[in-house]
Amino acid sequence: MEGLEEVLKEELEALHLRDIKILKRGVECEGSWAQLYKCNYHLRTAIRVLLPLKTFQIETQEDFYDSVRTIDWSAYIAPEQTFAIRSTVFGEIFTNSLFVTYRCKDAIVDQLSEEKDYRPDVDLDDPDVVINVHLKLNDLSISLDSSGRSLHLRNYKMRSYKAPLNEVFAAGIIKLSGWDKKQNFHDPMCGSGTFTTEALMMAANIPAGKFIEKFSFECWPEFHQEIWEKIKETGEANIHPPEGEIFSSDLNSFAVRDLRKNLQKLPFRSKINIKEEDFLRSEGDNNGIVFLNPPYDKRIKVHNVTKFYRAISDQLKRNWQGSHVWVLSGNAQAMKTFGLKHSAKITLDNGGIPSKLYKFELYEGSRKSKYQNS
């Protein structure tokens, strides 16, 4: 995801991948089969893990079709298997990514029916094999998508209260903050609790993919079941109780109810302190880390949003001195009325809503004047 490439790189380093290179909205690296499985199971900030098959330089639509046919698809799609294609296209050779998908499907099916005597079916909902096509100007790359579905679909979220964050996005923000998993973690406008669930998973070392039922690599002809079982076994064995405390609250009782539902599958959920509370009346903490995702007055409307943001900053100054506060907002105008000076500002793409993540260090006592302008 844009803005989270660096944290993804750090995650890959922790899994000992090699030759890691940051790209725009992605990271490239080298690794073994076991590492490919581990990436799917453990990475918290990857959307999908691709295995590149071949790259080409093409000039025309005919080149595209011919290039796809140079890959021996019988090595990847067995006669009884289904497949799906996902295409991203920039440039003038094709203007429509759906048309690219159709031409890629034609090339694959034509090859297999003419040369191998079978015609695999397309299944858009639950395909065995997912093929990723990326065409940027003349550069074509064709990969297998080892994840299948987007990895943000962790399969713990049963309910979504208004404007939920994407799980990968929330995990990336927590990682960007450098939270040590011991300091008190606060999610006081929790909605359906994406920050809370991701924080618990990190603190308890619960693999990001623990609840995902099937990854696409499990359907590949070359699949090493015993390696995969061992990775899951080790992942389970390394889960442990969280060390720090997690506090989650929301003004709205439906949000709190949805958070409880979303925690149902998670071990150690009873350790989370959940309550229905107005943040503007919260007791505060003088040594916590706080993740605030207030309504932007876009998807969730707010009566007098500038007054609301001002009240949030007043409350932070009143009861949260000593804490580190991260505010994610898509309303830059309202953030200007925030009565605190940020020490960092990071631009992120929150599912199409350009957003900024602001860091406020609320020092206690004499240091506070350095960081506050009112």
Ligand X SMILES: C[S@@+](CC[C@H](N)C(=O)[O-])C[C@H]1O[C@@H](n2cnc3c(N)ncnc32)[C@H](O)[C@@H]1O
List residues near ligand X by CB under 6 A.
161-165, 188-195, 250-252, 255, 278-280, 293-295, 300
9-17 — which CB contacts under 8 Å span 24+ positions? 10/175, 11/42, 11/43, 11/44, 11/45, 11/46, 11/175, 12/39, 12/43, 15/39, 15/42, 15/43
Q: Which is nearer to ligand X, 133 or 255 (CB)?
A: 255
Q: Which is nearer to ligand X, 122 or 302 (CB)?
A: 302
**Closest to 72 in 3D by CA, of 121, 112, 127:** 112
| CB 372 to ligand X: min, Å | 21
In degrees, rounded to 5, the angle at the alpha carbon of residue 88 between the alpha carbons of residues 82 and 93 is 110
**Closest to 372 in 3D by CA, of 317, 304, 297, 302:** 317
Q: Which is nearer to ligand X, 50 or 189 (CB)?
A: 189
| CB 9 to ligand X: min, Å | 25
For residue 318, which phi and psi values (nearest 5 degrees)? -75, -50
> Is the distance from CB of 182 to CB of 199 less than 8 angstroms?
no
Cα–Cα distance, 57 to 66 (Å, whole number): 12
Say which residue the tokens 């809370």 belong to.
196
| CB 38 to ligand X: min, Å | 27
Q: Which is nearer to ligand X, 164 or 209 (CB)?
A: 164
The H or E element that residue 253 is part of is helix 253-262
Q: Which is nearer to ligand X, 132 or 262 (CB)?
A: 262
Q: Which residue number places its CB atom closest to ligand X? A: 191
Cα–Cα distance, 317 to 319 (Å, whole number): 6
| CB 249 to ligand X: min, Å | 6
Q: Which is nearer to ligand X, 51 or 311 (CB)?
A: 311
> Is the distance from CB of 42 to CB of 207 less than 8 angstroms?
yes
Cα–Cα distance, 168 to 194 (Å, whole number): 9
| CB 282 to ligand X: min, Å | 8
| CB 191 to ligand X: min, Å | 3
Q: Which is nearer to ligand X, 11 or 277 (CB)?
A: 277
Burial code (b: 16+ CB inside 10 Å, e: under 16) for 352-373 equals: eeebbbbebbbeeeeeeeeebe
Q: Which is nearer to ligand X, 183 or 252 (CB)?
A: 252
Cα–Cα distance, 371 to 36 (Å, whole number): 44
| CB 26 to ligand X: min, Å | 24
| CB 355 to ligand X: min, Å | 11
